[in-house]
């Protein structure tokens, strides 16, 4: 990938292994995270190299390893930030919402939007290819990250369950997560296919994917929260 492909303006490159000040190290680390995040969200993890990440920051490839032991460590840092942003969005959407069906719908929409247009999240979170993308060498870090995120997410889901009279009330939270991934997540992964149907078949109009998604989320939320 060339510099103009990544869309960055490349400053003068740092060469060798310079001793950076703490302030400069923090600045470069943040730039690496931002560079890596943009590349991951645009091209996905398999098409992103260390050089792709360092070129926009203006440092040589070997200098990357002053900040991260491996590319997988950068991926975990980015994944952690993506999770944090997602959880902030979930908490914001659920704030003040007492009705369980509406709360579950909002939770499902947050999940759908989390994956849409984000190949990194699609391949790691939705498809579950954590080890393939990030590597087995960072398995412990990844496990700790997922456990920390579940520790935040599960109580929010349990709060919705406690207010529900439907099947959701007695359901294991991880079963709910499985339903969410195997339905809403699967639809997100096949978005392009649904959009290709638009205009190709009689009765399939523009916005078909969105219509299917809205019907799926509302039906799933209603079925899980409404008694009988």
Residue 206 or residue 3, greater confidence: 206
Same domain, 141 and 181: yes
Same domain, 150 and 192: yes
**pLDDT score of 45 more than 70:** yes
Same domain, 165 and 100: yes
CA distance 97 to 131: 36
pLDDT reported for residue 144: 86
Same domain, 115 and 88: yes
Q: What is the pLDDT of residues 75-120, one digit of tens each?
A: 888 888 888 999 999 999 999 999 999 999 999 999 999 988 777 7
Residue in the block written with tokens 């190709």: 200
pLDDT reported for residue 133: 67
Closest CA to 71 of 56, 50, 91: 50
Q: What is the pLDDT of residues 162-191, one digit of tens each?
A: 999 999 999 999 999 999 999 999 999 888
Answer for the pair 120, 82: CB distance below 8 angstroms, yes or no: yes
Structure tokens at 51: 């050089």
| Reported confidence tier of residue 210, pLDDT bands at 50, 70, 90 | very high
Same domain, 129 and 164: yes
Answer for the pair 96, 38: CB distance below 8 angstroms, yes or no: no
Residue ranges making up the domain that contains 221:
72-225
pTM of the model: 0.79
pLDDT reported for residue 11: 42
Answer for the pair 75, 40: CB distance below 8 angstroms, yes or no: yes
Give me the number of domains the chain comprises. 2
Same domain, 137 and 204: yes
pLDDT reported for residue 17: 43
Same domain, 109 and 180: yes
**pLDDT score of 13 more than 50:** no
Report the pLDDT averaged over residues 223-227: 93
Residue 89 or residue 198, greater confidence: 89
Structure tokens at 1: 């990938």
Residue 12 or residue 184, greater confidence: 184
DSSP 8-state symbol, 18:
-
Q: What is the pLDDT of residues 122-161, one digit of tens each?
A: 877 777 776 666 665 567 787 888 888 899 999 999 999 9
Residue 76 or residue 52, greater confidence: 52
* CATH number of domain containing 31: 1.10.10.60
Reduce the secondary structure of 50-98 to three states and give it as a string: HHHHHHHHCECHHHHHHCCCCHHHHHHHHHHHHHHHHHHHHHHHHCCCC
């Amino acid at each position: 990938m060339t510099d103009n492909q990544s869309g960055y303006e490349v400053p003068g490159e740092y060469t060798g292994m310079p001793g950076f000040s703490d302030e400069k190290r923090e600045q470069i680390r943040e730039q690496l995270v931002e560079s890596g995040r943009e590349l991951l969200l645009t091209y996905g993890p398999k098409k992103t190299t260390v050089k792709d990440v360092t070129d926009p920051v203006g440092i040589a490839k070997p200098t990357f390893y002053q900040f991260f032991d491996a590319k997988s460590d950068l991926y975990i840092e980015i994944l952690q930030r993506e999770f944090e942003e997602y959880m902030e969005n979930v908490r914001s959407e659920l704030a003040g919402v007492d009705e369980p069906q509406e709360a579950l719908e909002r939770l499902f929409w947050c999940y759908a939007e989390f994956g849409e247009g984000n190949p990194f999240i699609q391949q790691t979170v939705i498809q579950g290819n954590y080890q393939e993308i990030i590597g087995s060498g960072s398995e412990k870090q990844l496990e700790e990250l997922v456990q920390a995120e579940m520790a935040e997410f599960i109580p929010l889901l349990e709060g919705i369950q406690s207010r529900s009279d439907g099947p959701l009330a007695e359901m294991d939270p991880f079963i709910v997560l499985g339903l969410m991934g195997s339905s809403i997540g699967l639809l997100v992964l096949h978005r392009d296919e649904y959009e290709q149907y638009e205009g190709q078949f009689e009765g399939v109009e523009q916005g078909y994917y969105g219509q299917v998604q809205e019907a799926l989320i509302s039906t799933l939320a209603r079925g899980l929260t409404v008694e009988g």
